[in-house]
Chain A
């Protein structure tokens, strides 16, 4: 949310508060005036009973009673308005909290995508993907598996909390991870808090997709102790990882390969031209 919007919201809330205070003060005054007029009516009625009410006093009595009714009506209207303002105030407060959460989620998504595309170095991209999974999602044990075009196997290229060797290569279509790589659909365990680690059945499995082409998967096996469930922003981060991490990994791998080939060719040229 922009600072101006935030200030505007604060100033509106302040205006409502001022209005609420004025309304409350006005209600107090009306109630006092009501009391005073009731007392005056009582006095006049007493006088009328005692001395035989003259016509002007009776008329004044009638006018005062009408005025009391009018003030009572006004008081009820003001109280109604105050209730309405209080309800609006609550709505604004709730909306403010929602916008704050949305703002924080957007900031996280922005930082994640900015970092993912900040480098063309394959190892750095993998490091950034890991940092996002640790720092933004809160995973303690996870791995990134990429599809090797030559062997057609998914092999672990980065892992946290698990040794790379613990994760055997997986053929697309085989097992739970392989089927995710085949279908391209995200998978989340229904109850992350009670999930028991199983290398073939991860808690979360996110395909890394470039359009509909799956180039790998991210598997999560354990979250931090303080993280017991997924928030809405986590699902958005998973979606972002599925697309942006895939393109960042793919382009950095292409770049690294082309750099290596260029270096080899340069070596040959140097040999030939010496």
Chain B
């Protein structure tokens, strides 16, 4: 039981990171109808920029400034490379974001250097032990931060004028424009917020160790999360992210007991955990092709 609860805490911590990236994906998708494959680059460069700012001004200020900087970069990227493509096929825009991802990620990677860099988080690998359950502080921090951000976002969408405009554009772009909402401003804002969310996720994904060259892969795990939840569902993104995080952590914890020695599939020596998001995704899609909470596409002839 304590082993399970420890796995659960790891899962919720990493799941919160996936959920943050997934919310970014969903925001861009709701506004523009495109999946932005550039999120991994924003995640990676967020962690790297914070690793430069944190030694100068402390982790908290550095993280906030770094996240804002990545938001600005995303805004710029949208303006330069995505805005001219409005109205083109969504897949074309998605491929452009793939290209952008490679460029931004490579440029950010140049700043990594050969010395190990860390984001200078105050938690490191410290743990709390609560009646035998090992809980890593960084996972708690990630979960709490994600919760605060999600609540703030929901309040923003519910009560602010800009949030209302964003919901209006997401539900009916032309009607929103007829009411005087600038759709292109909303697109830009969605990109900026999604970039910032990815950067937050990057900072927490990089806690507890040096920034690795493969950190950006974390953002890809948010893709099955949004497929499970449905591309256009914020709640689905959060639930999908947490589900995947927990499933991954639980399978990683119990992999040895399930697959070694017991005689079931003895070839599986490598941990199945990283594979779980994709397996769950395929299982969900077999039943519901538009995700658990996604809107079913209306086919009109």
Does A pair with B? no
A residues at B contact (CB < 8 Å): none
